[in-house]
Structure 1
């Protein structure tokens, strides 16, 4: 039985789709800038009430973050899970969406179904 193995070519393709195109880089840049904003707001700004700055990260990670957080319901119905699980769900969902965005851009450009010519390049 021949099972597919994730070799270096597959890993490079996944990395290229996740980080290697302009749309994914812009998305990841917006997420990084928002994370810095949330960190500064949380650490250095005094609020009388709770700040809703962290909600922006969830907006940027939606809808996949909600699927991951629903999986975190094994820790109880009251909370989405431990803090480490929420942070991990945010990171993984942003990476999944960056990959999906890169794949969609490739699909729009015609890269997914493009066929190669039967003639070698040198002739």
Structure 2
């Protein structure tokens, strides 16, 4: 029987860890708020010089976003690569850190919920 590379259960667990706890949701909310700030600043505010609003996104996605960007520079892309790669690196970094936060919350709370079930002791 052919099993898919990632089962439904694994996918469900990854989604639950990434989006299913308060710490991850607060982090993702902060990232969305920063992205809205950057979009509003870029589209509706006139500046004589460049704005530093985009720095907040990179600070929220640090340190993993810098690993992706340095990797692209090492692979030969000039100065952080094309814009699509920067957006992709930001997205993957934020999702990876949200997953790490969810995993940490799960670790602190004592593991998976199925491990908390009461099991009879042997005599």
Q: Unaligned 5+ residue runs, structure 2? A: none
Q: Could you list the per-position Cα deviations for residues 37-79 of structure 1 after superposition, in whole angstroms to 9, with x for gaps in the alignment? A: 0000011000110000000000000000001111211243x41
> Which residue is 1:107 aligned to?
107
TM-score normalised by the chain length of structure 2: 0.87
Query: Which SS does the other structure have where 1:6 is aligned?
Result: coil
Query: Which SS does the other structure have where 2:47 is aligned?
Result: coil
Q: Unaligned 5+ residue runs, structure 1? A: none
> Which residue is 1:118 aligned to?
119
> Which residue is 1:37 aligned to?
37
Distance 1:20 1:85, change over 3 A: same
Paired with 1:88 and 1:116, the residues of 2 have a C-alpha distance of: 40
Distance 1:4 1:104, change over 3 A: farther
> Which residue is 1:90 aligned to?
90
> Which residue is 1:18 aligned to?
18
Query: Which SS does the other structure have where 1:80 is aligned?
Result: coil
Query: Which SS does the other structure have where 1:111 is aligned?
Result: coil
> For the aligned residues, what is the CA RMSD?
1.9
TM-score normalised by the chain length of structure 1: 0.87
Paired with 1:75 and 1:47, the residues of 2 have a C-alpha distance of: 32
